[in-house]
A and B are shown apart, each in its own frame.
Chain A
């Protein structure tokens, strides 16, 4: 197999800080058809107890992408990305992401497995504020299909 199992357990450098903006949250909410005013109206979000407009739960993939790119762009891992599909995704939100958050994401390869002709790569990405507050844990499984 081509994928380098020596990468199991490896933690990559954190991403550059990502600033969550109201405009981006609204754009994402519109793209998924989420009508909630909590994603668009600061006063409504504050009335519901949030500091500012909040992101839909899967918005975390946008933020975690910067961290997981460190994994996918590492030539030593040996993944053929033309053959990769997204197998699984999960998020554990310690709190919702909101506009004004400045966060970094940092990925660790939790597991690499060969299943028949397929190889799965499980990555855990921690999203934290630049102040160190944990916000979200994202886990993804990528599948490299066998040729």
Chain B
């Protein structure tokens, strides 16, 4: 897919939908890379003991996947995402198998701003439930 240019993008344009797999291995790797070793992200026994259905993904990992989704659209430049905010609306439950959880991310351009920037609204779903809401970003395009 070619990355869009600012001059070609209109409000209402849709970003190509992406699906990301999140396995237990990804959670361990993210814990190490981020320094967030909260036990509920890798230990099923402890997760269940505090009332969770199973091990859950770091909210920040879900947000990072949405960031990657935006970066890919913005010509692969992680520096193009200048503002990014989300609300964590539901848990991403990660079963202990090889497939893990699926996070499906979509986005829509809501406004053309000045200075080659656009406002984007992102949605993220896992297992049929919205896991991010009020997910909004400002992205600079070439």
Residues of chain A having any CB pair with chain B under 8 Å: 24, 27-36, 38-39, 48, 50, 54-58, 61-62, 65, 82, 85-93, 95-96, 139
Given A56-B64, A82-B50, answer yes or no on A90-B83 (Cβ-Cβ < 8 Å).
yes
Given contacts A57-B71, A82-B50, A87-B87, 7 further A-B contacts (CB under 8 A): A27-B33, A32-B61, A34-B67, A36-B76, A57-B81, A58-B64, A90-B84
Mask, B66-110, CB within 8 Å of A = 1, is: 011011000011110111111110000000000000000000000
B2: interface (CB < 8 Å): no
Complex contact B60–A58 (CB within 8 A)? yes
In Å, the complex CA distance between A30 and B30 comes to 9
**Chain A interface, >50% SS class:** mixed
Complex contact B34–A62 (CB within 8 A)? yes
Size of the B side of the interface (Cβ < 8 Å), in residues, is 33
Complex contact A56–B20 (CB within 8 A)? no
Given A33-B20, A34-B68, A89-B85, answer yes or no on A96-B33 (Cβ-Cβ < 8 Å).
no
Name the distance in Å between B6's Cβ and chain A's nearest Cβ.
16
Complex contact B82–A88 (CB within 8 A)? no
Name the distance in Å between A36's Cβ and chain B's nearest Cβ.
5
Which chain B residues border A38 with CB–CB below 8 Å? Answer: 76-79
Complex contact A56–B35 (CB within 8 A)? no
In Å, the complex CA distance between A31 and B60 comes to 12
Name the distance in Å between B125's Cβ and chain A's nearest Cβ.
18
Complex contact B34–A91 (CB within 8 A)? no
Mask, B25-46, CB within 8 Å of A = 1, is: 0100110111110000000000
